[in-house]
Amino acid sequence: MSAAVLHTAAELRSAEDGSRRAVVMTMGALHDGHAELVRAARREVGPDGTVIVTVFVNPTQFAAGEDFSRYPRTLDDDVRLADHAGADIVFAPDAVEVYGPAEGFRPDSVTVDPGPLGDILEGASRPGHFRGVLSVVLALMGMTRPEVAMFGEKDYQQLVLVRRMVDDLRVGVRIVGVPTVREDDGFARSSRNRYLSEEERATASAVPRALAAV
């Protein structure tokens, strides 16, 4: 593998070489959809730029009873896929590196309020989810210091909220949306697809067919 695996913000700072940086933020369990984000990042910064893939299962965007503990953690496979897709660095911090000793939000933590848009659609069924998402995205931007960040259009509400945050807080990072990568039957590729049984997977494939019909 030629992609460097780094774990701290200090290591990232030491790796800075003045080239343009693009970042792809993930929670790991990478698949072809993530690979397309990496390829898009490479196109953005060119052969002399630096493409960083972050791998961090963010505890603050999971509610009680969700799948944080069983979310797939496959760092070795993730590094191989990221490297093959053209990444230069895989940044895999732990929760202490991102949040400090509390490994998550403290009662006095500074966090990012997503506003009313974060309380509808997915946000309505997952209270606090987008607060966790935006807070970690901002933290990872601070550590990776990119010029451009790639986000998949599959998580469209997330993409809209990240763009709003970057604009409203004057973060100075350009956000690029990348089209959803789909299976042959139109089902969007996702790290959580592995949770589905064959029967559930067959049922789920009706969703993109229904949307296409509409």
Choose among 176, 108, 101, 171: nearest CA to 139: 171
* Edge-to-edge strands, sheet with 50-55: 4-6, 89-91, 50-55, 21-26, 148-152, 174-178
Report the catalytic residues: 34
Instruction: Kindly tell me the sign of the dihedral angle through the C-alpha atoms of 179, 26, 169, 125.
Output: positive
Choose among 212, 120, 115, 129: nearest CA to 165: 115
Question: At residue 176, what are phi and psi to the nearest 5 degrees?
Answer: -115, 125
